Structure formats: structure tokens, C-alpha cells
Chain A
Amino acid sequence: MTTSTSPDSAFGNLTEESVRYSRLSQFRSTSEPFIPNNPYHRPLNPERVAELDWSRPLDEETFASDRSLLANRLLMNVYESDALFLPAAGLRTFEDDFSAFYHSDSRLAGERIRPQMERFAFGFLDDSVGVSGQWDEDTLRAHLRHSVDQANSPGSRPVFDAIRAAKSPRIAAGTQIVQMALDGLTEATAMSQNLGGAFGPEQSELFKIFVDEFGYGVFPAKHSTLFMELCSSVGMATTSHHYWFFYLPSSIAINNYFYWATRNRTGFFRYIGAMAFLEATFASWFGDLTKVFRDVYGDAVDTRYCDEHAHIDQHHGRMAIDDLLIPLARKHGPVAVKGLLQGVEEIQLLDRLAGADLLAQLTWDPALSDAPADGPAGVVVELDSDSAFDTQVAPAATRLHVLGGEALLYTSATGDPLRVPQGRSVVVPAGRLYGVRAEGRTQLATGPAA
């Protein structure tokens, strides 16, 4: 699904061009941990992008790594500059960013790096998943049924169990909502990229699903509106990418997967397979999520977003398989069957990897400690209230030791950051997303945990 280029020159160019792209004004840094109201301001970090080794593509092991975070943030910005975002409060103070985000030069700069970044981010799927043999309809249906039943089987929701068991279930549930916001506040834009064109009765069947998603043209019934009501009811922000810094790499990657699968139209069957599998499992998943939110937030939470999915996706699951997937397989033959199954298997694999990433983030409870006297000193950085904020994924267990001042450790978008005073330290486990800021002059030593 990508163009071929000479690897050596390609990676050299990719480094230069990805850094150039990340330096565009709309991707500038900020000292704040949240991005209020401005859908175009999506901080990238040119210095970290410059360090990204593009010659080592992601795989299952690195799907939730820092390299994945950087690459998927870049890709997300490239993809989303093709979709229209307008600030809820109006454009008046964001006109420059509006122009910059959609400027032809900016989009061209993104398009130049997109194919190689896609190969970097998703190339491993061709090695991880394979489909072979002659499939008949009964076998295809049996395989789909088994896959859906397995996804909905008892014990298949360790993240939900972890939210209930968390020290602060509200913070844990907030982390779950943030990951959903990537899709929920953008009206499933990533999944709606194949509505155009002319592909027969199946195009109309696909539209039926999206007609429900878009609330039949009634704004209060739109699924993204229901998601905003969910956020509001628990005191969370409702604007797109307010939580930019707190999306886990695996969450962005799954959203990007749908952009990738639909960007090149030969990925259509892969897209339908992945979408149909999700639609077929959503009803049960959202039904269980409603119970989690009720347990955590009580009666105050507005669960209509979940309730709507728990109901309508019973229909969407059936429609996506009986009226889309199977008819496409019948009509278009082995190429379609292979693509459809590829999508079904890929989304399950990515969902497993993302589930493990989210579970690890939810169950991480950072604790203060004294730095070991003989521990490695690490790199010392100076922070103050104007320092650029960023989040990153720890490549290995990392000790943050405050030499002077006070550091604020962010590990989730909801709840208060952990205050780490002078002389104390905290260990960030390998693979965990975190960000550090300071309200005053602070010295921080960062190094491997002994």
C-alpha cells in the first residue's frame, strides 16, 4: 500500500522531512498539559522526531513504544488535515492555525512523508497476519462467529476489571474515556473515509450504519454529541484533542489503522473486515462499559453514548457482516475474502496490543521514594513554568529524581499530577506514558532505574 524507494536515501529524507513537518507552526510546543478549544494545535517535538530511527520499523513488541507515539502523532496530523475541524467557540482567535493546518504546503509536506511512515507503522502486519486457502461462506461465517464469541467471552475485559479495582476508579475511567475521545470526539472520522465512490448496494449498506452514527442529521442524536454529553457529565472536556498529550500510542495507532486502510482504496476489504468485526463486538462491549461507568460514577454519568451503541450495534454487527462483508466476499471473490479476513485478524491483534497498553497504564500507581545513594545520576534538565510540556513513553524503567524545586508528574489526563518534591524520586516503568512540568524553577535528573 506504499510506494517503493531506496531504503537508505528514503530514511535520510524521512528524518529531514519529518522534522521539517513537525516544525510547522500549528505543531508548536506549549507549556500546558492540555490543548483547550484549538483543534489545529497539536504539538510535535522536532528534537525527539529527529532522534527517531526510521530504519527500524515498528513490530508487535514496539507497537506501544515511544517511537510508535512519535510516528503515530505525525501520521495522525497528516491524516486529519484532510478532515474539517472547526472550533466550537468559533474561529476568531484561531484563524492563523486554521490556515496553517489546512495550507497546501503543510498538507504537501505531510503527504511526502506519509507513505514511508505508514510502512514504518503498519508494515509489520503483513508479517504478523496471513490468510490462506479456499474459503467458503459457511467457513467464513463460522470463523467470524468464533472470533466475535471469543471477544465477548467472560473474562475478556481485564481493562474494565482494572478500572473497578483501581485505587481511584474515576481517574482510571477517565483514562478509558480519553482513549475513546480520539474517535468519539471526531465522529469516527477515521472509519468514515470510504463512503465516497460507487460500489453498488454495499455502499448503501455502509451508509445505513453511518446514518445512525450521524444521528439522522439531528445534532443532539449524533454519536459524537452523545460522547460530549458523557464527557460533560463527568467533568471532562468535550473539544477535539484537548487530551492530545494523553493518547496512548496504541490508541492513536488503531485510529490511524483505519486511515491507513482506507487511504489506499485497495485496502477497502481490509477496512470492511476490521470495521465489521468491531461493529459485531461493540454492542456487548458498550453494554459492559455502561455498567463500569455506573459503578464508578453513580447516577451522575450520562451513559447514552454507551447505551446507544449497546443497542444499535446489535443491528450494525449483523448488518456489517450479513449485508456488507458476506455480499462483498460473494461478489468479489478470493481477493476480497483475503482482505476481509486480513482486516478481521489485524484489528483483533491491534486491539489485544492496545488493551495490554491501556491495562498497564491504568494499573501503574507511581509512588515517591528516595533516590538510591549509589544510583546513576542521569541527565539533568532545568524546568520552569514556561518549559515546553510533552509526554513520552519510557523506553526502559526510568528514575526521575528531583534535585531542586518540585516536579509535577502527569500519568493520566484526569486527577491531579503527582508532586515530586526536592530530594524525592519516582520510577516510571518501561512502556509507560508520562509527562513532567514545573510551576517554578526545578532541577530534574533522569536516568535508568537501578
Chain B
Amino acid sequence: MKGRKGAKAPAQPRVRAEFSRSAHNALVAGDDLYFVMERDKAVHVISSSCPHRGGPLHLGDVDGDRLRCPWHGGLFPVGRLCDRSHPSVRVGDTVTVYLPAGEHDPVPVHTMVRAGVDAA
């Protein structure tokens, strides 16, 4: 856990959001989209913006244990994406997630997510 004491950079301000696992598969905050990926029954909320050129990772395909960005084909290990997902807890159907704070509060949505459910 990144502590406050001795941390190189201050912790990123975050905002709390809740969504229903069965009704929503993504959250939208302004231009930012966060998609839900389920893996081994665990729910992970992942930033959709590809670190290369901002491609929509939620529309990428999962090939084996890697997610391919639909724009330039960048490959990302699914395990690493999940390990670095936004902090969340799930109790039953309700997921609470803490997303980077911005101008817009996150809104749960159901949209096309190709990379989301039961990714290997």
C-alpha cells in the first residue's frame, strides 16, 4: 500500500462511486471511461484509455492472458491490468469503487465492453 509517510508523490484524489454488477459494466466520468473486467469471480474496474495513444481498451479483444488495444494492437497482460485496477470492494451485487477525482462524477452505465466478462 502506498503510504502517506515517505511517499514520493501525494496520493491521487479519488471519488467514490457505486454500481450494480449485474446492471452496469462501465462508468463514465466526462471523457473518461472505466470498464469492468471479471476474472476468477473478482471484479476489477480498469481505465479504458490505452497508455499508448488513448485507444479504447474496453473494445479490445482478450487473446489468451493478454488484452489487445483495438487501435494499434498494443498488448497488455490481463493479470497486470487487474492488479493495477482501481480500488474496489464488492458485496453481493454492489460494487464500490474509488476513481480518480475530476470535474465530472462517475456515472454507471451499460455499454459495449468486449474485454469485460470472464477474461482469462
Query: Measuring CB to CB, which residues of chain A are less than 8 angstroms from any residue of chain B?
Result: 60, 127-140, 142-143, 146, 329-330, 333-334, 336-337, 341, 345, 348-349
Instruction: Please report the C-alpha to C-alpha distance between residue A336 and residue B2 in the assembled complex, in whole angstroms.
Output: 13
Question: Are A132 and B45 within 8 A (Cβ)?
Answer: yes
Interface check B14, CB cutoff 8 A = yes
Question: Are B14 and A134 within 8 A (Cβ)?
Answer: no
Which residue of A has the minimal Cβ distance to B5?
A: A330
Chosen A-B contacts, 11 in total, with CB atoms closer than 8 Å, are: A128-B91, A130-B89, A132-B90, A133-B85, A133-B88, A134-B83, A134-B86, A135-B87, A136-B2, A136-B12, A139-B14
* B residues near A136, Cβ cutoff 8 Å: 1-3, 11-12, 87
Interface check B44, CB cutoff 8 A = yes
4 smallest beta-carbon distances between A and B, as pairs: A133-B87, A130-B90, A136-B2, A133-B85
Taking A139-B87, A143-B96 as contacts, is the C-beta distance between A132 and B44 under 8 angstroms? yes
* B residues near A131, Cβ cutoff 8 Å: 88-90
Interface check B53, CB cutoff 8 A = no
Instruction: Please report the C-alpha to C-alpha distance between residue A137 and residue B14 in the assembled complex, in whole angstroms.
Output: 12
Question: Are A330 and B3 within 8 A (Cβ)?
Answer: yes
Known: A129-B89, A137-B1, A143-B87. 4 other contacts (CB 8 A): A132-B85, A134-B87, A146-B16, A330-B3
Question: Are B14 and A142 within 8 A (Cβ)?
Answer: yes
Taking A133-B45, A139-B98, A337-B1 as contacts, is the C-beta distance between A345 and B89 under 8 angstroms? yes
Instruction: Please report the C-alpha to C-alpha distance between residue A330 and residue B48 in the assembled complex, in whole angstroms.
Output: 29
* B residues near A135, Cβ cutoff 8 Å: 1, 87
Instruction: Please report the C-alpha to C-alpha distance between residue A360 and residue B82 in the assembled complex, in whole angstroms.
Output: 41
Question: Are A345 and B91 within 8 A (Cβ)?
Answer: yes
* B residues near A329, Cβ cutoff 8 Å: 1
Question: Are B88 and A139 within 8 A (Cβ)?
Answer: no
Which residue of A has the minimal Cβ distance to B45?
A: A133
Which residue of A has the minimal Cβ distance to B39?
A: A132
* B residues near A137, Cβ cutoff 8 Å: 1-4, 11
Instruction: Please report the C-alpha to C-alpha distance between residue A135 and residue B92 in the assembled complex, in whole angstroms.
Output: 20
Q: Which residue of B1, B41, B85, B91 is within 8 Å of A140 (Cβ)?
A: B1
Report the minimum CB–CB distance from B119 to chain A (whole Å). 13
- Among B84, B89, B91, the one with the most A-chain Cβ atoms within 10 Å of its Cβ is B89
Interface size classification for chain B: 20 to 34
Taking A129-B89, A130-B42, A132-B88 as contacts, is the C-beta distance between A330 and B1 under 8 angstroms? yes
Question: Are A132 and B42 within 8 A (Cβ)?
Answer: yes
Which residue of B has the minimal Cβ distance to A130?
A: B90
Query: Measuring CB to CB, which residues of chain B are less than 8 angstroms from any residue of chain A?
Result: 1-5, 11-14, 16, 41-45, 82-92, 96-98
Instruction: Please report the C-alpha to C-alpha distance between residue A135 and residue B86 in the assembled complex, in whole angstroms.
Output: 8
Instruction: Please report the C-alpha to C-alpha distance between residue A380 and residue B110 in the assembled complex, in whole angstroms.
Output: 55
Question: Are B14 and A130 within 8 A (Cβ)?
Answer: no
* B residues near A133, Cβ cutoff 8 Å: 44-45, 84-88, 97
Taking A60-B92, A133-B86, A133-B87 as contacts, is the C-beta distance between A138 and B11 under 8 angstroms? yes
Question: Are A129 and B90 within 8 A (Cβ)?
Answer: yes
Instruction: Please report the C-alpha to C-alpha distance between residue A135 and residue B84 in the assembled complex, in whole angstroms.
Output: 9
* B residues near A127, Cβ cutoff 8 Å: 41
Which residue of B has the minimal Cβ distance to A334?
A: B1
* B residues near A128, Cβ cutoff 8 Å: 91-92
* A residues near B91, Cβ cutoff 8 Å: 128-129, 345, 348-349
Taking A132-B45, A137-B11 as contacts, is the C-beta distance between A143 and B89 under 8 angstroms? yes
Question: Are B42 and A333 within 8 A (Cβ)?
Answer: no
* A residues near B90, Cβ cutoff 8 Å: 129-132
- Among A140, A336, A341, A349, the one with the most B-chain Cβ atoms within 10 Å of its Cβ is A140
Report the minimum CB–CB distance from B30 to chain A (whole Å). 20
Instruction: Please report the C-alpha to C-alpha distance between residue A127 and residue B91 in the assembled complex, in whole angstroms.
Output: 9
Which residue of B has the minimal Cβ distance to A135?
A: B87
Report the minimum CB–CB distance from B49 to chain A (whole Å). 17
Report the minimum CB–CB distance from B73 to chain A (whole Å). 26
Instruction: Please report the C-alpha to C-alpha distance between residue A129 and residue B89 in the assembled complex, in whole angstroms.
Output: 7
Report the minimum CB–CB distance from B18 to chain A (whole Å). 11
* B residues near A139, Cβ cutoff 8 Å: 11, 14, 87, 98
* A residues near B82, Cβ cutoff 8 Å: 132
Report the minimum CB–CB distance from A125 to chain B (whole Å). 10
Question: Are B88 and A142 within 8 A (Cβ)?
Answer: no
Report the minimum CB–CB distance from B100 to chain A (whole Å). 11
Taking A136-B1, A337-B1 as contacts, is the C-beta distance between A143 and B84 under 8 angstroms? no
* A residues near B43, Cβ cutoff 8 Å: 130, 132
* B residues near A337, Cβ cutoff 8 Å: 1
Instruction: Please report the C-alpha to C-alpha distance between residue A133 and residue B12 in the assembled complex, in whole angstroms.
Output: 14
Report the minimum CB–CB distance from A175 to chain B (whole Å). 27
Instruction: Please report the C-alpha to C-alpha distance between residue A337 and residue B98 in the assembled complex, in whole angstroms.
Output: 15
Q: Which residue of A60, A129, A138 is within 8 Å of B14 (Cβ)?
A: A138
Taking A142-B14, A330-B1, A334-B1 as contacts, is the C-beta distance between A130 and B41 under 8 angstroms? yes
